[in-house]
Amino acid sequence: MPDDDDTVAARPTLSLCDVVRITPYREGEPDHRQACTTWFPQPVTLVYAHRASLPPFGTLTAPRGRNVPPLVGFALSDESVAFPEAEAGVERLWQHRATGASVDLWSWAAPGTWVYSLVVEWRPMPLEGWPLAIEGQDVLAGGSAHASRGRYAWPTPPPIPNPHDVDPDVHFVLSTEASGPPVHPCAASFWCSC
């Protein structure tokens, strides 16, 4: 599906996530001391869509389109009731629009089992410019996933065992061997403002 004059987006992949940690970038690296983790009372949907550039109009033969930053967003089912944790996460992403942020996501798979994803560098975009309509979902935040500019500095302790360096040009990491998300300082409640 076309999303602007010279790019096309693949059909989006949707995945539920239960916990999100937003880490702002500072001087080109994630500043883990400023990370904020949010446990949601109900899962939110991660939206991911690969994009590529189109060949110039009127070109009969052209090299394959180059990849452009994928679209990444958060959405709630149309049937869900909005909750403050989701709105706070959207606000936190928007606060870091100038520097970008890394976004860690945990999805509860089974008792004691988590699936972990990392958007290496998220850059938000206004929803007015969000090119994807997702049936049955209300998009809360949209942006693009940008590739690592160098070695990615993992937090201590890392969310996955023995993490490898994230190579340049990698924009998304997925692991099924993840430790659970960080325990929130306000463990008595689901959410605490960071």
DSSP characters over 111-124: TTEEEEEEEEEEEE
- Whether 180 maps to a domain, the answer reads no
Query: What is the mean pLDDT of the segment spanning 158-181?
Result: 82
Domain count of the fold of the chain: 1
Rounded Cα distance between 23 and 79, Å, is 29
Residue 190 has pLDDT above 50, yes or no: no
Flag whether 82 is in a domain: yes
Task: Indicate whether 112 belongs to any domain.
Answer: yes
> Is the per-residue pLDDT at 192 higher than 80?
no
- Give the number of C-alpha atoms closer than 13 A to the C-alpha of residue 11, restricted to the C-beta side: 1
pLDDT-derived band of residue 155, with 50, 70 and 90 as boundaries? confident
Higher pLDDT, 166 or 37: 37
| Position with higher pLDDT, 27 vs 6 | 27
| pLDDT surpasses 50 at 127 | yes
- State the residue range of the domain holding 75: 7-175
